[in-house]
Amino acid sequence: MELVASNKVVGGWHKRYRHASETTHCNMTFAIFLPEAVNKGNKVPVLYWLSGLTCTDENFMQKAGAFKLANELGIAIVAPDTSPRGDDVADDAKGSYDFGLGAGFYVNATMPPYKTHYQMYDYIASELPKLVQAHFPVTTQQAISGHSMGGHGALVIGMRNAQSYSSISAFSPICNPMQCPWGVKAFTGYLGIDTKQWQQYDATALMLNQQFDAQTPILIDQGDADNFLEEQLQPWSLQKAAEQVNYPFVLNMREGYDHSYFFISSFIDEHLRFHAKHF
Identify the CA nearest to 19 among candidates 106, 78, 101, 96: 78
Whether pTM exceeds 0.85: yes
Of 85 and 211, more confident: 85
Q: Which helix (H) or strand (E) holds 188?
A: helix 181-191
DSSP reduced 3-state for 20: strand
pLDDT of residue 212: 67
Confidence of residue 214 (pLDDT cuts 50, 70, 90): confident
Query: Which is the catalytic residue, given 117, 152, 259, 271?
Result: 259
Active site residue 271: no
Checking if the pLDDT of 135 tops 90, the result is yes
DSSP 56-89: -THHHHHHS--HHHHHHHT-EEEEE-SS--STTS
Query: Which is the catalytic residue, given 21, 145, 148, 169?
Result: 148
The backbone torsions φ and ψ at residue 113, rounded to the nearest 5 degrees and listed phi first, read -90, 15
Taking the C-alpha atoms of residue 153 and residue 176, their distance in angstroms, rounded to an integer, is 12
3-state helix, strand, coil in the chain (%, to 5): 40, 25, 35
Active site residue 226: yes
Structural domains of the chain, ranges and CATH numbers in brackets: 2-278 (3.40.50.1820)
Taking the C-alpha atoms of residue 233 and residue 93, their distance in angstroms, rounded to an integer, is 25
Active site residue 148: yes
Query: Which is the catalytic residue, given 226, 237, 271, 275?
Result: 226
pLDDT in tens, 231-276: 999 999 999 999 999 999 999 999 999 999 999 999 999 999 999 9
Confidence of residue 222 (pLDDT cuts 50, 70, 90): very high
pLDDT in tens, 153-177: 999 999 999 999 999 999 999 999 9
Checking if the pLDDT of 215 tops 90, the result is no
